[in-house]
Each structure stands twice: as C-alpha cells, then as structure tokens.
Amino acid sequence: MSDVVTLERQGDIAVVTVNNPPVNALGIAVREGLQNCFKAAEADPEVKAIVLVCEGMTFMAGADIKEFGKPPKSPSLPEVVAGIEAGNKPSVAVIHGTALGGGLEVAVSCHYRIARKDAKVGLPEVKLGLLPGAGGTQRLPRLVGVPKALDMIVSGNPIGAPEAFELGVVDKLIEGDLLSEGIAFAQQLLMDGKGARRTGERTDKLEGVDNAGAVAAKRAEIEKKMPGLFSPQRCVSAVEASFTLPLEEGLKRERELFGECLTSPQRGALVHAFFSERQASKVDDLPKDTPVREIKSAGVIGGGTMGVGIAICFANAGIPVKILEISSEARDKAIDRARDTYGMSVKRGSLTQDALEKRMGLISGVTDYADLGDVDVVVEAVFEEMGVKQKVFEALDANCKPGAILASNTSSLDLNKIAEFTKRPEDVVGLHFFSPANVMRLLEVVRGEKTSNEVLATAMAIGKKLKKVSVPVGVCDGFVGNRMVFQYGRESEFLLEEGATPAQVDGVLKKFGMAMGPFAMRDLSGLDIGLAIRTRQRQTLPAEYKLPTILDKMAEAGMLGQKTGKGFYVYEPGSRTPQENPDLPPILEAASKEQGVERQQLSDEYIIERTIYALINEGAKILEEGIAQRASDIDVIYLNGYGFPAHQGGPMFYADAVGVDRVYAKICEFHDKLGAWWKPAPLLEKLAKEGRKFADL
Ligand code: 3HC
Ligand code: NAI
C-alpha cells in the first residue's frame, strides 16, 4: 500500500507492517499508510482480525520530531488513532523495542497489545516540552488509572513490559517471533469470540479513586520540582480532562493544550537538545569507514575519586577492569570504595546484591604495570601534575600491548605533551569524565594533535558503550566545559564584589533553570580548587585581566566550603543544606573596597547577562578556534555536564534565542565598562553584524 506501511493477509488475519527506519517514527508517510491499511483491512470481508507489527529495531518510537514546527499534514496522528480504535475487527499491536509517544498512542488505540519481555513503553513527550497529543492523556488513564498515568506522563519515563503487563497496558508478554506471536494471539481472540475492545470506551479504572487529589498532589510536586517548565502542568490539565470530560471533549482539550506546548519556546529548546545530543556523537571529518578497535578489557590508573567512578562505568558496561594503584593499601582502598559505591545503590534499591557481586567480579586491583599488558584501553586518573602523568605514560608505553588505547582523564593539562611521553602518540586520547564519573553522562573526548582517526573513533565508541554522551573536543586549557565555566565562575565572584549576595546570584540562576547556583556548587566542590586556578592566573595573566579577591579572603578565614562547614553558606554538621553565612558580609565589603567598587543593588537581568553572556562569549571563541565542532556540541556539554537547563537549549542556543546582536551589544558595553575579560569574540561580532545565528554556522 505504501513503501513504509504494507498490508498482507495470512488466512483471515490482516497483517499491517511498518518499516520506516531507524525508529519507525510516525511521519506523514507512516500515518497515511496506517490509515489506508487499517481501512482496507476493515473493508475486506475475508479479514476477521488485524495484527500491527513493526520491522527493525523497535516498534514506533513516536511522532516524527523533525516535522514539529512545520505546517501540519493530514491525516494527523489523532485522526489515525481514532480510525484504528473505531474499527470493528479486533486489532492487536505487537510491541518490541520501545513504543514511545505517538507509538504507544497507536498501540493503545489497537484493541489488544502483546509485547516482548524486554520492550519498554512510555509517553516521553514532556521531555520535548510537549504532552501526548494523540489521545495518550485520555487513553492511558483509562488503562492504568489517573495516578499512575500522571506519574508516567509528567516524568516521561518509560516502564518495562512486565510492569506494563501488571498494569494492564499489555495483555500478554511474548518471547518468540513477533509476527507468529501476533497471529497466534489474534487467532486465539477469534476462537474465544473476542471482538473489538476500545480503550476510549473504558471507564472502570477512572472510578473509585481520588483522581482530583492525585491531580492536586501532582501539581504541587511540579510547582516544587520543576518550576518554570511549561509543559508538565499542561500534562496534568490534559489528564484531568480524562475524568472530568467525556472522551471526545477530553481529546479536544488535549489537542488545545498540545497546541500551546507546540508553540512554546521551551519545545524548540528541548527538541534542539534532543537532536544536538545525537549530532554530537558524529565527528565531521572522520571517514565513515574508519575502523573501530575491539574493547574487551580495560585498565584505570589511580583509584581515587575519578578512577573508581571510571572503573565502575566499565564494569557497568560488562567490561572487566583493573585498577592500578601505588601501593597494595591504596589498591585495596580503591576496591573498597567501588564496593561502597555499589552498596549505596543496593541501599537505595536501584541495584540488587546479586548485580553488585557480578559487577565487583569485573573489577580487580593491581600494583604492577605488567598486569596491564593485555588490556585494550587504559584510562589514567592520577594526580593532576605533569611529572606524575609523565611517569605513568612512560610506564604504560613500556607495558601495554601494541594497539592499546592510552587515555588520560586530565582536566586541564596539555594532552599533546602527555602523548609525547610515549612512542605512540597516535594511540593517546583524552577521556575527560565528570565527577561523579559513574553518574554524570558527559564525556569530553579530547583529540590530540597526533590522535589517529581509528583511536578517536574507538574512543567515541567506548563512550557509547559506557552510555555516556560523548562530545569530541580539541586541546586547550580546560577543554570546552571547564574553559567556559572559568568565565562564569569569575563573573559570579565579581557580582559579589559589586553588591550581590551568594543567595541572590544562586537564586536568580536557579530560577533561570540551572540545577545549582554557582556558589552552592563552589561550596560543594571546595573553594581550594577555584583558589588554585585564581592563584595561577594571578601569576600568569597580563595586568589588565583583573581578578576577584573574594576566594583568597575566604580561604584566609578558613571558609573552604562544605568540607569546613563554612563557605559562601554555612552548613550544620552532617547537613548539606546551605544557610546564610553571617560572617560573609564583612568579607564581601572588604573585597569591594579593595576593588574600589561601591556596592549596589543588582538586577536579576544583569546577573543573568554577566554570567550567561560570559559563557556565550567564550563559547564563540572556542568555536572559532575549532576546539568544538559545532555550537550545538557546546550546548550538549553544558546540558549534560554543568546543569544548564534543557528548556533553555544550552548557552549557544540561548544566545540565538535572545538575539546574537543583542548579546554582542551587551558584551561590548561590558567590555567598555569592565575591561579585558569582555573583549567580544570576533565570531560573535561577525554573526551579529551579518544578522546570523550560531545555528546558521
Ligand atoms: N522522530 C524522528 N527521528 C527520531 C525519533 C523521532 N521520534 N526518535 C529517534 N529518531 C532518530 C534519531 O534522531 C537518530 O537519528 P540519527 O541516526 O540520524 O542521529 C535515530 O532515530 C536513532 O535514535 P537514537 O540514536 O536515539 O537511537 P537509540 O537506539 O539510542 O534510542 C529511542 C532509540 C529510544 C527511540 C530514542 O531515539 C528516543 O527516545 N526517541 C524519541 C522518542 C520520543 O520522544 N517520542 C515521542 C515523540 S513526540 C510524540 O510522539 C508526540 C505525539 O504524542 C503526538
Ligand atoms: P584523587 O586525588 O582523588 O585520586 C588520585 C589517585 O591517583 C590517588 O588514589 C593516588 O593514590 C593515585 N595515584 C597517584 N599517583 C599515582 C601513580 N603514579 N600511579 C598510580 N596511582 C597513582 O584525584 P581525582 O580527583 O580522582 O583526579 C584524578 C584525575 O582526574 C586528575 O587528572 C584530575 O584533574 C582529573 N579529573 C578530576 C575531576 C574531579 O572532579 N575530581 C573531574 C575530571 C577530571
């Protein structure tokens, strides 16, 4: 019937097959095909039941996200699902992979559903700034009840097929061939005399529960946990319509709310985040046929904070890993730390004791480089000192087999120099994990001057295997993320010296959507790290680059953050809740005086401009130098490593949204007023003058 959706008959069962790689997204061709095939099957007197199945890696994974923002084409998805549900012949959706968003909406418009045991189903639209717009908010509550539907739709998190079976979303769990299972299920329905069973007509799960209470509780939860997000409250309003309005009116209400989300700027930002993440894994100048080395075993040098986290990443991916430490005591401590980390997951209930033992079985400790002779990749995570790194890389060069990948987790040292400590600089690459390495999704893959294509391609593949968001970056001080965050941190400190308080700056940036304010973050990681950078900068930078002095003054007073119980905030013993530090105001005043600045009230807008525009200006310099491949890669780094809000799209997307010309004008103003740090990036100037955006590059 069409290229992407076909209809065939097997006895009295019509089989509708969707084949639209890679994820069977419901673009216009699929929608048309589904509508035509279901209509034809309904009209064929020989057909008694219909089976819907998908080719490839997954059932339909949702509407075609690329179509958002373009003029809508008929038939719309709501029309298609309404047609399927209205059919008089029983229809069965056979689910494998992920039935997400519009895909699940199609499945629940079929009269029955069977699913592979390892399949997942969900309505993740909220993660794209949307709500399920093809009946999902009306039909899912009819299957699982309002409270569970609210949880699924507002979180956007999918559930596994076994849970879906328990809840009644799925009628049977299957293991065998999709098509044969689908046909067998349909034949059984016919034998049992079962006909159409329309989800939209069900009301049993909507009754006898305090639905209004569940709605009120979810609204309060959103208010607290996701303030400023546009679509979650609208998801709740749509679900509310499922029990306050008849189906047809509920669907209409859902459509209106979906339309509001579709035009919201947050939708644009979140869709940008989705595609940017997928784009980031592609290295533009790497030939498609670049071979990738097989990685079956790993080594980690240094079992400290980062090394243990990195080893856990390998074990989680099923790759055996050896941690090398300087002594047997340090080695044993590292292994204990890995076990403790897993132990906390067991305590939280996210890991079974069995799984802990299996993963610990993949982690071993060694003290001798000879034990690393057979590993395929080594990640060095020792102290951040060039002399120490030199010794490690010389030892790796002498002991590792030819073809082993030698990676460094350095956060600021020159990777090219590190590579020169070996006779195989082409095998050296940076794998810059973020702390805690087993939790944070970001991985900067640092490409040295001599890193070979094969090693880079393998490093990107390792990132994927470890379930990281891997972004290739070039060599410079701090790479992309930390180089930019230096600017942000310094400007935040200057704001304190100009008159703001930590709570004010943190509050404004949290309202903007940042996961944490810069000062709460500083307290968490310890002020000594920032202080060391400042001290180094003070020694090396030309005099026109003025630096804040607040950190030095706080360190003198013993305020180093959470570790000393006092920093920008104070902390009760054992607590991480920041409270106002009563000893800070005199220090702020002294710093202001020293800088010759009169303290004044600063506006929220000014705080955003000083901090976020500092990121944008540095990002533009990074792009121009080719340290990042594309503006969207910088966004991916910020979204996944620095708590930048996804609904703002990342710093470079935000610049486009504000207007590059406006950002440029403000940065010029800051340059005149505040000096050298604010010299506008030439690329920013060029884009502003040409009326272009970062997205146009
Ligand atoms: N539309 C268009 N393209 C999509 C897509 C979609 N819904 N989902 C995935 N793709 C593309 C990706 O961009 C990628 O393309 P590329 O190869 O050119 O980079 C390719 O499919 C493979 O995707 P992944 O790299 O993400 O593959 P994974 O195997 O890691 O993950 C997945 C597969 C779980 C399906 C994941 O892609 C995903 O979560 N997709 C989004 C699902 C979603 O959000 N659905 C809801 C859409 S909104 C909706 O349905 C509205 C409706 O209610 C009206
Ligand atoms: P850490 O001090 O917690 O751990 C370093 C470990 O290396 C110690 O256990 C030490 O015993 C071991 N070690 C030192 N010299 C060694 C040698 N010659 N051979 C074997 N082991 C040796 O340090 P951390 O924080 O884990 O940092 C490690 C590296 O990771 C540094 O390069 C750092 O810049 C980088 N990094 C740190 C991040 C962080 O947030 N802590 C984030 C990203 C990168």
Can you spell out the DSSP letters for 648-695? GT-HHHHHHHH-HHHHHHHHHHHHHHH-GGGPPPHHHHHHHHHT--GG
Q: Which helix (H) or strand (E) holds 338?
A: helix 328-348
pLDDT at 667: 98
pLDDT at 537: 85
Alpha-carbon gap, residue 124 to 157, rounded angstroms: 6
Is 454 considered catalytic here?
Answer: no
CA of 23 to the centre of ligand 1 (A): 6
Question: Counting beta carbons within 10 angstroms of the beta carbon of residue 196, is it exposed (0 to 12), middle (13 to 18) or buried (19 or more)?
Answer: middle
* Residue from 32, 85, 125, 254 carrying the catalytic annotation: 125
CA of 274 to the centre of ligand 1 (A): 8
**Smallest Cα–Cα separation from 290: which of 404, 464, 458, 446?**
458
pLDDT at 1: 56
CATH number at residue 59: 3.90.226.10
Q: In what order do the strands lie in the sheet with 49-54?
A: 5-10, 13-18, 49-54, 91-95, 112-116, 172-174
Same domain, 256 and 173: yes
Question: Which amino acids bring their CB within 6 angstroms of ligand 2?
Answer: 301-307, 324-326, 330, 381-384, 388, 391-392, 409-411, 433-435
DSSP secondary structure letter of residue 371: G
Same domain, 494 and 640: yes
CATH number at residue 339: 3.40.50.720
Contact residues for 172 (Cβ-Cβ < 8 A; gap 6+): 114, 115, 165, 185
Q: Going by CA atoms, what residue is nearest to atom 22 of ligand 1?
A: 22
CATH number at residue 628: 1.10.1040.50
Pairing of strands 120-122, 98-100: parallel
Same domain, 102 and 144: yes
Looking at this predicted complex, what is its ipTM? 0.95
Pairing of strands 5-10, 569-570: unpaired
Q: In what order do the strands lie in the sheet with 120-122?
A: 98-100, 120-122, 159-160
One-letter amino acid at 280 equals A
**Three-state SS at 574:** coil
CA of 649 to the centre of ligand 1 (A): 18
Same domain, 446 and 567: no
Distances (CA, A) of 304 to 176, 307, 331, 376, 442: 46, 5, 10, 21, 19
Alpha-carbon gap, residue 167 to 457, rounded angstroms: 43
DSSP secondary structure letter of residue 54: E
In a domain, 210, yes or no: yes
Which residues constitute the domain of residue 673?
A: 482-696
CA of 49 to the centre of ligand 1 (A): 30
Question: Which amino acids bring their CB within 6 angstroms of ligand 1?
Answer: 22-23, 25, 58, 61-66, 77, 98, 100-102, 105, 124-125, 128, 130, 132-134, 136, 278
Q: What would the 3-class secondary structure string for 382-442 be?
A: CCCCHHHHHHHHHHHHHHCCCCCEEEECCCCCCHHHHHHCCCCHHHEEEEEECCCCCCCCE
**Three-state SS at 59:** coil
Yes or no: say if 281 and 464 are a contact pair by the CB < 8 Å rule. yes
Yes or no: say if 136 and 104 are a contact pair by the CB < 8 Å rule. yes
Query: Angle CA(296)–CA(344)–CA(526) in degrees, nearest 5?
Result: 95
Same domain, 220 and 78: yes
Q: 444, 475, 506 — which closes off a domain?
A: 475
pLDDT at 280: 97
* Residue from 32, 105, 181, 444 carrying the catalytic annotation: 105
Same domain, 303 and 392: yes
Alpha-carbon gap, residue 360 to 122, rounded angstroms: 32
In a domain, 272, yes or no: no
Q: 408, 442, 475 — which closes off a domain?
A: 475
One-letter amino acid at 165 equals F
In a domain, 287, yes or no: no
Atom number, ligand 1, closest to the C-alpha of residue 78: 54
**Three-state SS at 5:** strand
Q: 419, 440, 475 — which closes off a domain?
A: 475
In a domain, 307, yes or no: yes
One-letter amino acid at 471 equals V
In a domain, 212, yes or no: yes
CA of 477 to the centre of ligand 1 (A): 35
Yes or no: say if 125 and 131 are a contact pair by the CB < 8 Å rule. yes
- Ligand 1 pocket test, candidate residues 4, 18, 20, 23, most atoms within 8 A of CB: 23
Same domain, 342 and 442: yes
Alpha-carbon gap, residue 478 to 485, rounded angstroms: 9
Same domain, 413 and 486: no
**Smallest Cα–Cα separation from 302: which of 251, 252, 365?**
365
Yes or no: say if 84 and 93 are a contact pair by the CB < 8 Å rule. no
Atom number, ligand 2, closest to the C-alpha of residue 391: 18
**Smallest Cα–Cα separation from 417: which of 454, 389, 379?**
389
Yes or no: say if 298 and 320 are a contact pair by the CB < 8 Å rule. yes
In a domain, 276, yes or no: no
Question: Residue 262 has which token pair?
Answer: 């579709």
- Ligand 2 pocket test, candidate residues 308, 325, 383, most atoms within 8 A of CB: 383
- Ligand number nearest to the C-alpha of 482: 2
- Ligand 1 pocket test, candidate residues 28, 58, 64, 65, most atoms within 8 A of CB: 65
Q: What is the DSSP string of 498-549?
A: HT--HHHHHHHHHHHT-SS-HHHHHHHH-HHHHHHHHHHHHHHS-TTS----
Alpha-carbon gap, residue 273 to 183, rounded angstroms: 40
Same domain, 561 and 576: yes
Alpha-carbon gap, residue 348 to 239, rounded angstroms: 30
Distances (CA, A) of 231 to 29, 156, 235, 353: 28, 11, 6, 38
pLDDT at 311: 98
Atom number, ligand 2, closest to the C-alpha of residue 389: 18
In a domain, 291, yes or no: no
The number of distinct structural domains making up the chain is: 3
Question: Residue 536 has which token pair?
Answer: 């180094």
Alpha-carbon gap, residue 545 to 292, rounded angstroms: 44
In a domain, 607, yes or no: yes
Q: Going by CA atoms, what residue is nearest to atom 41 of ligand 1?
A: 61
- Ligand number nearest to the C-alpha of 329: 2
Same domain, 69 and 142: yes
Is 105 considered catalytic here?
Answer: yes
Alpha-carbon gap, residue 145 to 203, rounded angstroms: 9
Same domain, 471 and 509: no
Atom number, ligand 1, closest to the C-alpha of residue 64: 1
- Ligand 2 pocket test, candidate residues 382, 384, 479, most atoms within 8 A of CB: 382
- Ligand number nearest to the C-alpha of 337: 2
CA of 385 to the centre of ligand 2 (A): 9
The residues that bridge with 430 in the sheet, in sequence order, are 408, 446
Same domain, 461 and 589: no
What ranges make up the beta strands (E) of 542-668? 569-570, 579-580
Q: Going by CA atoms, what residue is nearest to atom 21 of ligand 2?
A: 302
Weakly modelled stretches of the chain, pLDDT under 50: none
pLDDT at 535: 86
